[in-house]
Amino acid sequence: MDLLNTLVDKGLRRELPTREEALAVLATSDDDLLDVVAAAGKVRRQWFGRRVKLNYLVNLKSGLCPEDCSYCSQRLGSTTGILKYTWLKPEDASQAAAAGLAGGAKRVCLVASGRGPTDRDVDRVSKTIKAIKDENEGVEVCACLGLLSDGQAERLREAGADAYNHNLNTSEATYGEITSTHTYADRVDTVTKAHAAGLSACSGLIAGMGESDEDLVDVVYSLRELDPDSVPVNFLIPVEGTPLAKEWNLTPQRCLRILAMVRFVCPDVEVRIAGGREVHLRTMQPLALHLANSIFLGDYLTTEGQAGKADLEMIADAGFEVEGADQVTLPEHRATAGGGCGSHASAGCGSQESAGCGGHDDAGCGGHEGGGVCGTAAATPAVTEPRTDLVAVRRRGAGTDLAPNA
């Protein structure tokens, strides 16, 4: 297919595809899907080999959010029945992080619900970052706290944070349809602040909210312009009790096409499969590793994910390897550009995130709403039917007395 040959050539040269080419990837047929995956896989291997970076989410403060993001179970007035708790103590957060690090994660993503942090909140998180880094040499820490005020990114950087996540989520044209309490421009401003402070910028999207192909291409092109080091791709988890609970319009094939399009547009950045992979990719998850070079391990912010052991087995069975703490995530031309954790060797981290998180949304560090746990349904629904059996509210880990899934 001439389109795919062109896209591979451009990806290997880090050349931006045309919008028409990006849209054409999303419009390919299921018959061509393996060809699309193989083509994007060549670009992924050129810049990241067969490594898979593992990230681990710690929800520092759950629920109780004044924002009205339609996709989020922590939103204002939520009736989802999620865990709700205020700030974890630094020692408790460090203990929660240790489980993920023991499972092979090299980055810990600290997420807190809310519009954005107060200066006192930044102090809390700074103490938590210190507690985690004192116990774990070389660990990367990404903060995801919502909209930042002037000077807060610099304070987080001074406290030892390596990265900051804040997702754009969807196109500027449709942003007002999912959130009314802040703007798309607010999000761009926070990513810009993080970048300017020397933090590794992490920003991504949520697919499956009813957006068009044009919207998906728009937000990915906007992300390319912002030039984050990592781009988490979330697939909407339609959690009961949220306004988007009925938006079940993703198939495994569409998810793969979206990931391929992101890889072609952002060939040399860390592309992370974030929340929703278990629910929407399902048994096709191993194919997605040929497109993305990063995933979350274990549970998400408010919902359960695939067992950590199953994640590790999937990576090995698919012929990939877990990225080590001594390996730099980003390719050399980005790693020496001073872009942040993992993009430079002196960041105080093993390399370079989910996780893109919106902080106050539940796209935490890229971990929007979370994955799901496979149920044992009597019959397998068609791919076009809602898979509510794969969505379970998190009842373990941070904020509970039960051991986390890692």
- What are the residue ranges spanned by the domains of the chain? 2-390
To the query of whether residue 341 is one of the catalytic residues in this protein, the response is no
Residues at the binding site for [4Fe-4S] cluster are: 65, 69, 72
Question: What's the CATH architecture for 2-390?
Answer: Alpha-Beta Barrel (3.20)
The model's pLDDT over 140-158, given as tens digits with 9 standing for 90+, comes to: 999 999 999 999 999 999 9
To the query of whether residue 255 is one of the catalytic residues in this protein, the response is no
Mean pLDDT of all residues in 107-127? 95
To the query of whether residue 109 is one of the catalytic residues in this protein, the response is yes
The model's pLDDT over 308-342, given as tens digits with 9 standing for 90+, comes to: 999 999 999 999 999 999 999 999 999 876 543 33
To the query of whether residue 272 is one of the catalytic residues in this protein, the response is yes
To the query of whether residue 257 is one of the catalytic residues in this protein, the response is no
Which of these is catalytic: 44, 107, 124, 142? 142
Which of these is catalytic: 44, 69, 75, 394? 69
Q: With a cut of 50, say whether residue 165 has pLDDT above it.
A: yes
Token couple for 249: 């319009």
Q: With a cut of 80, say whether residue 77 has pLDDT above it.
A: no
- How many other CB atoms are there within 10 angstroms of residue 86's CB atom? 12
Which of these is catalytic: 44, 75, 107, 109? 109
> How far is it, in rounded angstroms, from Cα 156 to Cα 167?
18
Q: What is the pLDDT of residue 361?
A: 40
To the query of whether residue 282 is one of the catalytic residues in this protein, the response is no
* Closest C-alpha to 128, from 82, 159, 84: 159
To the query of whether residue 144 is one of the catalytic residues in this protein, the response is no
Q: What is the pLDDT of residue 338?
A: 52
Mean pLDDT of all residues in 114-128? 96
Binning pLDDT at 50, 70 and 90, where does residue 384 land?
low
H helices within 197-272, ranges in order? 213-226, 252-265
Q: What is the pLDDT of residue 113?
A: 87
* Nearest 10 degrees: Cα torsion 176, 65, 270, 339: 90
Q: What is the pLDDT of residue 376?
A: 33
Q: Which residues contact 372 (CB under 8 A, 6 or more apart)?
A: 237, 278, 279, 303, 304, 305, 387, 390, 391, 392
